[in-house]
Amino acid sequence: MKVLANDGLAKGGITALEKAGFEVDSTTVAQDQLVDYINKNKVSVLLVRSATKVRKDIIDNCPNLKIVGRGGVGMDNIDVEYAREKGINVINTPAASSHSVAELVFAHLFGLVRFLHESNRNMPLVGDSKFNDLKKSYAKGIELKGKTIGILGFGRIGQATANIALGLGMKVVTFDPFIESAKLELEFFDHQTVFFNIKTISKEEVLKQADFISIHVPAQKGYVLSTKEFELMKNNAFIVNAARGGVIDEVALVKAIEIGKIAGAALDVFEKEPTPEIQLLMNPNISLTPHIGAATTEAQDRIGTELASQIIEFFKTSK
């Protein structure tokens, strides 16, 4: 049984699959060559992350495919329902990368409130000649403790983000149209545990109350945040998007920053990946990363082993 991990697979996942008798191929095949490659090599399982798209052309023309697996949460690069209608099992790993994404959110937030994203650009350029000027420019940082974070989307990643916020002493307000409340478990290094019951409120109230907004929603048809939503937010609030490109109106975001309504933003995802708009890349009030939310060693190990476990179980039960 052959598995094609077209966007890569962590060693733990490869080892588990090979131990179970699967042949794992880690070749990266170009999108337009996938159908021929899958058929020629009799691939039964196709594993992807966000780069490879599994659309109707692959589903219709690859009769040997039994499983399509997405290493991560969102499956907007896969025609999920169509694949399932055609008898292909579609799997993903919704919990494996939650904490890694949540940590990236706070990496950005810590950087923004202390100007690290900007300081790290300017210190190498003029740190030796304008040290005191830079010191003055970055001397008005703020602390996260005691502030309010608004979380839009309170699934696994949203809840992981809330856990870190609570550990920092922040107030958490959240909106999710499908979740009324959640019981969060905050576990410390010595196994002490504190529980928090968080009730969701309206999106409008979250926007009005929050000093920081973090978005954790799937791909949408329209914007989650645009001019209307920015106007509801506190002056000098911050926004983080480590969810999906296209949930923030990037043109409106830049304008809101330029007029001083929004203090700054952090973007890990973009409407036009992999070629983000230059006005985003050059804006000194935006902290930037190239879609690396799930890109930690630990998360990739969890993703690999979880995919392997699901694949092994599927073929075991389908015999």
Name the CATH code of domain 2-93+297-317 (choices 3.40.50.11540, 3.90.1150.10, 3.40.50.720, 1.10.3720.10).
3.40.50.720
List, in sequence order, every residue forming a beta bridge with 265; answer none if it has no partner.
239, 286
pLDDT tens per residue, range 175-200? 999 999 999 999 999 999 999 999 99
The answer, yes or no, to whether residue 309 has pLDDT greater than 80, is: yes
Residue 69's identity, in one-letter code, is G
What pLDDT is attached to residue 311? 97
Token digits of residue 293: 């939310």
What pLDDT is attached to residue 319? 65
Which of 294, 312, 314 is CA-nearest to residue 10? Answer: 294
Active-site positions read 244, 273, 291
pLDDT tens per residue, range 254-278? 999 999 999 999 999 999 999 999 9
Which of 49, 52, 14 is CA-nearest to residue 33? Answer: 52
Measured distance CA(276)–CA(295) in Å, rounded = 19
Do 2-93+297-317 and 98-288 fold alike per CATH?
A: yes
Positive or negative: CA dihedral 31, 270, 73, 82: negative
- Kindly report the pTM of this predicted structure: 0.91
pLDDT tens per residue, range 98-134? 999 999 999 999 999 999 999 999 999 999 999 999 9
Which of 240, 287, 254, 291 is CA-nearest to residue 269? Answer: 291
Token digits of residue 112: 């923004």
Phi and psi (nearest 5°) for 171? -90, 135
Token digits of residue 81: 């329902």
Helix/strand/coil for 59: helix
pLDDT tens per residue, range 9-56? 999 999 999 999 999 999 999 999 999 999 999 999 999 998 899 999
Instruction: Tell me the mean pLDDT in the region 164-173.
Output: 98
The answer, yes or no, to whether residue 318 has pLDDT greater than 80, is: no
Phi and psi (nearest 5°) for 7? -110, 20
Which of 169, 238, 248 is CA-nearest to residue 210? Answer: 238
* Sheet containing strand 262-267, strands side by side: 171-175, 148-152, 212-215, 237-241, 262-267, 286-288
The residues spanned by each domain of the chain are: 2-93+297-317, 98-288
Backbone torsion region of residue 269, taken as left when φ is above 0, otherwise alpha when ψ lies between -120 and 50, otherwise beta = beta
What is the share, in percent, of the chain residues with pLDDT greater than 70? Answer: 100
Instruction: Work out the number of other CB atoms within 10 angstroms of the CB of residue 263.
Output: 19
Measured distance CA(265)–CA(283) in Å, rounded = 10
End-to-end CA separation in angstroms for the chain: 13
pLDDT tens per residue, range 217-234? 998 889 999 999 999 999
Which of 48, 147, 158, 56 is CA-nearest to residue 98? Answer: 158
Provide the CATH number for the domain formed by 98-288 in this structure: 3.40.50.720
Instruction: Tell me the mean pLDDT in the region 191-213.
Output: 97
Q: Mean pLDDT across the chain, nearest whole number?
A: 96
Instruction: Work out the number of other CB atoms within 10 angstroms of the CB of residue 152.
Output: 24
Which of 62, 72, 73, 1 is CA-nearest to residue 29? Answer: 62
Given pLDDT bands bounded at 50, 70 and 90, which one contains residue 317? confident
Are 67 and 5 in contact, with CB atoms under 8 Å apart?
Answer: no
Q: What is the DSSP letter of 32?
A: G
State the Rg of the chain over Cα. Answer: 22
